[in-house]
Chain A
Amino acid sequence: MTTNRRNLLLGSVTGLASGIAMLVALPLATPAQAQDFITVASTTSTENSGLFDHILPLFQEETGIEVRVVAQGTGQALETGRRGDADVVFVHARALEDAFVAEGYGVERFDVMYNDFVIVGPGEDPAGLAGADDAASAMAAIAEAEAPFASRGDDSGTHVAEMNLWEAAGVAPEGQWYLSTGSGMGATLNTAAQVPAYALTDRATWLSFANRGPLEIAFEGDPVLFNPYGIILVNPERHPHVKAEQGQAFIDWVVSQAGQEAIAGYTVAGEQLFFPNAE
């Protein structure tokens, strides 16, 4: 190698090295993070409801442990747990949660609370849901009238619940009227408000959703629409770095009387969103 080329290489390597050195030094340079924190993977709908803003400060006050919530879709949240990027998983998709534990990624699943789904739609109710007996018939009515319906289409807990309802109604939803948005609850409701279309949403998101437009609750109350939440500690045998002790402390608190009362005490516009049901 000629001197020039070697020097050019040397210069580039030096620049590269100093840049990389900065990148590496970054974690050291960032101000000392509270060592007492855990990472909880939960869902966007739970975060959007504002529940965490209400209960987490109470937990931190009692134990000094900070809870950092990463809010993603249900599937992504469970994947985060599988990868060991979170200490605790807190979602609402029973079948997926059970599989998560069965596969050894989680220690044990605990009931925490439930909220319910409601069907929202345009105020004039073009599909005539007002008189439906149950959720399945309501969905069947929408399909028959081919009234626009906005679906999340993202394998989330809400989407899974929606597909179960279609199945119960004996309908395979497809056609121009069925809009699969592939996005979160908020985005799907935005779309529904715009079209306007029917949509299945959890009550918590609905109550705190500010962009309703012409939408109102079209159907509610069928027990089939109840949406239970589970909390799971990520298995430290799978991922030794998991903060098992502190994660367990959070789980213990959430299912304790104090935690359950905190959950019940969270209201939006005077209405309770979540109903505690831990043993």
Chain B
Amino acid sequence: MSGPFTTAFALITSGDPALMQIIGLSLRVTLTAVLIACLIGLPLGAGLALARFPGRSLAIILFNALMGLPPVVAGLVVYLLLSRSGPLGSLALLFTPAAMIIAQTVLILPIVISLTRSVVEDLWGEYREQLRSLGASRLRAVPTLLWDGRVSLLTGVLAGFGRASAEVGAVLIVGGNIAGHTRTMTTAITLETSRGELGLAVALGIILLTLTLSLNALAWGAGQWARGRLG
């Protein structure tokens, strides 16, 4: 069992440029997707928590359900949209990192929306009367609630990151696993596995897990520190 670990260690320390490129692309794609999903999902989730409109329950159920959207399905849908034969084909986005970012954003968005809605709804229950008393309209309350719930919201964002960095179905279909251009950690693992290079595949998996673990540990630590400082 030490084989893959030593391979992993050797890979990283060697600074193999192909590996660095793959890691860099994986991070770039997923982090960008997380950022966009937050830009869209945080206000949307907060709005969903505070607004009352016909069909609200349906919207909540829909987003909750979409959290479990299979990545390969998301990839397929985005593929059909971006293909040259599809409605957005003229954008020439298929088989590029941009397509991968779009597909991962589709995956992360329901998570951010649902968790934000849940957090903001709870906070609204706690703060509603006081905020109204202070003179804050519902719209004005949105940034206040988002900021106040920032530690809990971070958990949602992390969940989104975890889901995206772990998936292979979406990025494989819309990215094409092109060497040097759209090959990420997960698609590289798929490739090496199909080559029978199990040792290398496991080594890549270890690197991916270490990255995700470190990020989660960092965020957890930040959350604990914040809770202690902010109450």
Residues of A within 8 A of B (CB): 4-5, 7-8, 10-12, 14-16, 18-20, 22-23, 26-27, 30, 33, 39, 44, 47-48, 53, 68-72, 82-85, 184-187, 189-190, 193, 208-212, 239, 241
> Is B137 in contact with chain A by the CB < 8 A criterion?
yes
CB distance from B211 to the nearest CB of A (A): 22
CB distance from B197 to the nearest CB of A (A): 5
Would you give the 0/1 interface string for B24-42, flagging 1 where the beta carbon is closer than 8 Å to chain A? 0000000010011101101
A217 to chain B, nearest CB (A): 15
26 pairs, CB–CB < 8 Å, chain A vs chain B: A8-B139, A11-B142, A14-B43, A18-B40, A19-B39, A20-B40, A22-B36, A22-B39, A23-B101, A26-B32, A26-B101, A30-B97, A33-B96, A39-B95, A69-B179, A72-B176, A83-B85, A84-B85, A85-B84, A186-B194, A186-B196, A189-B196, A190-B193, A209-B195, A210-B198, A211-B196
The verdict on A85 contacting B138 (CB below 8 Å), with A12-B44, A26-B98 known, is: no
Interface SS majority for chain B: helix
Q: Is B93 interfacial (CB-CB < 8 Å)?
A: yes
Residue of B nearest to A26 (CB): B98
| A5 contacts across to B, CB distance below 8 A | 51, 53
Chain B 150-190 against A: per-residue CB contact (8 Å), 1 yes, 0 no?
Answer: 00000000000000000000000000111101000000000
B105, CB-defined interface residue at 8 Å:
yes
Beta-carbon contact of B194 and A48 below 8 Å: yes
Contacts of B91 in A (CB 8 A): 27
Binding site for A on B (CB under 8 A): 32, 35-37, 39-40, 42-44, 47, 50-51, 53, 83-86, 89, 91-98, 101-102, 105, 137-139, 142, 176-179, 181, 191, 193-199
Q: Is the CB of A4 within 8 A of B138?
A: yes
Closest chain A CB from B120 CB (angstroms): 12
Docked-complex contact A185 and B194, CB < 8 angstroms: yes
